Amino acid sequence: MSGFWVHARPRLQLLAAITFVGIFLAGCQRDESPATEAARPVRTQVISLQQIELVGAYPGEIRPRIESTLAFQVGGKLVQRLVQPGDAVKVGQVLARIDPQDLELAESAARAELAAAKVERSRAAADLARFSQLRDSGFISQAEFDQRKAVHDAAAARVAQARASLKGQSNRAEYSVLHADANGVVTGVDAEVGQVVAAGQPVVRVAGTADKEVAFLIPEGRLQTVRDLGEAEVTLWTGGPGLRATVREIAATADPATRAFPARVQLHDAPDSVQFGMTATVRFATPVAQPLAQVPLSALLREGDRTAVWILDPVSMTVSRQPVDVQTMTDTQAVLGPGLQNGTEVVTAGVHLLRDGQKVNRLSHGDDARRDDARRSDARHEPAAPSTAAAMLPLSSGNAERK
């Protein structure tokens, strides 16, 4: 019997220990009720429906309708360039010259060939007159006369050929001078004095100032709308009144990089202050038949292919999600389609942290001001950072002396 108690004692001790731990843990437990979720502060805005013109704004660049790359029609060494980029030029103005020496020599050679051809024609004409009398007298046959007449006709043809060659060489000599073919401004130069240029090699680029346009890109979703409207307003990023413009050209295919369609609008009565290369904004507007709502972009909640806003119930102070149709957007605002009622209160900040039925509190501008004041106060009480010179000093002068 004593042996039984010897073997059972460890088991009883283990059971007593487990019971004690269980009683201790049960006594430590407290009844904890689930914490009530605090209302989330949000900023809101009351919707005010109004007549809005749907505007599509696209960035663009002022460009000329016609920009010509001028070149010499003959090759040679460039000896003079009379314009610089940015210079205004008039039609017929001399822009550059190449060395005309070889061209003048070729013209002189063509003139000499013409003189020789005229002499040969005169000799052949005199021979033809004599052989004509001999034929009439019966001293030569008609066949021999025809042979002399062919020689005369060939000499006359050589005169015509030499005259045409001289004309061509004279034109080539005139091609040694490059003229402006229209009023415009020099946008670039591609050759310098001393350079040997070939025929057709670009030398000067001139943009015509008669017609000014704005080049921009149209998203594929607005292509038909822009094409139907046709009229636009152009505003320069430097300021000033809007300029009237008309759509002149829309590309048939989209740009492979942006997937948008290149287009151009022609400016009407553009002032001289509008320079090529300036940035501009092209706006297309169309009035709508009913008032629409306008909200900040921060109020939009994007989920997949749907857009929604949070509507605040002022009675229960809870929010609910409502899908909306975005008509158009600017840099800071979004115009929503029909659906929201006048006076509806929407959340404009913190939309990604909400859920349906969540309680919220309005965040007033006074709360923002108090938060900023508290932040500035904390910044004033923060210890100043040590300077670089102080950070480089030894920790203790005594340590330095012991060294």
**DSSP label at 74?**
S
> Per-residue pLDDT for 331 more than 80?
no
Q: What is the pTM of this model?
A: 0.53
Interval 17-35: pLDDT, tens = 565 545 554 554 544 444 5
Q: What residue spans define the domains of the chain?
A: 37-50+290-377, 100-175, 208-287
Report the alpha-carbon distance of residue 306 to residue 249 in Å, rounded. 33
Q: Angle at which helices 101-137 and 142-174 pack, to 10 degrees? A: 160
Cα dihedral 243→249→251→255 (10° resolution): -30
SS3 category, 347 = strand
Over residues 259-269, the pLDDT tens digits come to 899 999 999 98
The answer on pLDDT for 15 being more than 70 is no
CA dist., res. 159 & res. 119, Å (int): 9
Contacts of 13 by beta carbon, 8 Å cutoff, 6+ apart: none
How does pLDDT run across 365-375, given as a tens digit for each residue? 545 444 444 44
Does residue 217 surpass a pLDDT of 50? yes
- Which residues does 234 contact at the CB level (< 8 Å), separation at least 6? 60, 214, 242, 243, 244, 245, 265, 267, 280, 281, 282, 283
Given the DSSP bridges, would you call strands 360-362 and 318-323 parallel, antiparallel or unpaired?
A: unpaired
pLDDT band per the 50, 70, 90 thresholds, residue 133: confident
Element spanning 4, H or E: helix 2-28
With pLDDT > 70 as the criterion, what percentage of the chain qualifies? 79
- The predicted structure's pLDDT at residue 132: 85
Above 80 in pLDDT, residue 162?
yes
Determine the CATH number of domain 208-287.
2.40.30
Q: In CATH, what is the architecture of 100-175?
A: Orthogonal Bundle (1.10)
Cα distances (Å, whole numbers) of residue 286 to 43, 56, 134, 328: 32, 9, 94, 11
Instruction: Please give the mean pLDDT across all residues of the chain.
Output: 79
Domain 37-50+290-377: CATH class, spelled out? mainly beta
First-to-final CA distance of the chain: 80
In a 10 Å sphere around its CB, with 0-12 CB exposed, 13-18 middle and 19+ buried, how is residue 55 labelled?
middle
Q: Which residues pair with 294 in a beta bridge?
A: 335
Asked if 308 and 326 count as a contact pair (C-beta separation under 8 A), the reply is: no
Q: What integer pLDDT is reported at residue 13 of this predicted model?
A: 60
Nearest Cα to 162, choosing from 114, 234, 100?
114
Q: 10 Å Cβ neighbour count for 178?
A: 23
Q: Is 259 left (phi over 0), alpha (psi -120 to 50) or beta?
A: left
The CA distance from 75 to 103, in Å, is: 10
Phi, psi angles (nearest 5°) of residue 289: -80, -20
